[in-house]
Amino acid sequence: MVHKSRFTRSVRSTAVLGAAIVLFLGGCGGIARGAAFQPTGTAPPPTATTTPSAVGNAFMAPQPNGSAELTWDPGNDHTLTVALSLAGLAPMNPGSYPSAPYPATLGSGDCQHQGSMLHQLAAVTADRYGAGSSATTIKGIAGGIPARDWYIALHAPAAGNQGASLACANVINPKPSTTEKQSVKARLRGVPHEQGGEGAHGKARLSLSGTTLTVTLSLVGLAPGSHHDAHIHSGSCAKQGPVVHPLETVVADSSGRAQVVTTIQGVQAISDNWYIHVHNGTDLKTQAGYQPIACGDVFVRS
């Protein structure tokens, strides 16, 4: 009876040990079929990622743009004075192309529904930074500045002022009067292609990894199928400077949209003294080709 009891206990111990071995081998088999076995307390190796050392952005706005200020003085022969100030013009550059002044008009209606021209305004001539201004004095405006239904347009240089409207402003006078002196300011904005102008808008992202700069430029509002030179310049949209880096040619699709990516080697930093220009064409030896249609100042975040 003693020998039989010992034999029974031995058999039971062997069975338990065998079951434990089976479970262990099954577990190891599960690890082999799945992820690699990791010792307790050891994390898997991290996935390699590339983090940009700097990122820049630019919001691209239609060009040109600026302001108009209208004043009317009934005590001075009902005189209307219109002062224009603009940036984003093709800079005066006699070495590359003959610079012509930009005609300006005061018309009836608004920028979306332009009526007849009421008065020819003094043309705007750009300086070497692409900025310009003009002032026009018109006597005998008995009715003053109306509440609405006036607009001011800046046109592309062309004979007879029939060039496209590059920039436009609706004149809104909240307190019209025929007896008191009036002063009204209006914002001149670039006119997109779909509204009869040449402007476009969008955004640009600049990413610097090591010394490799990647620029992604996205635009809408272009003429379908059109081609445009683009550059990174030093300076600002308000005070244009020289080219720092050329970008890939912008080519619009059939809906007037475009996205281009440019990779530039050997760049040490993204400067907050940069801006991105998109030109009206690819022939920059003409004023019409050079004319900026979209511009954005670059701002940087590390």
Residues of the chain falling short of pLDDT 70: 1-50, 159-163, 302
pLDDT at 47: 47
SS (H, E, C) 243-266: EEEECCCEECCCCCCEEEEEEEEC
The tens digit of pLDDT for each residue in 61-74 reads 999 999 999 999 99
Whole-angstrom Cα distance, residue 242 to residue 2? 105
Does residue 111 contact residue 169 with C-beta atoms inside 8 Å?
Answer: yes
pLDDT at 40: 41
pLDDT at 162: 53
* Contacts of residue 137, Cβ cutoff 8 Å, sequence gap at least 6: 79, 80, 81
The tens digit of pLDDT for each residue in 157-188 reads 974 445 678 999 999 999 999 999 999 999 99
Residue 132 structure tokens: 């310009």
Whole-angstrom Cα distance, residue 13 to residue 30? 26
177 phi, psi to nearest 5 deg: -155, 150
Q: Position 50: which residue type?
A: T
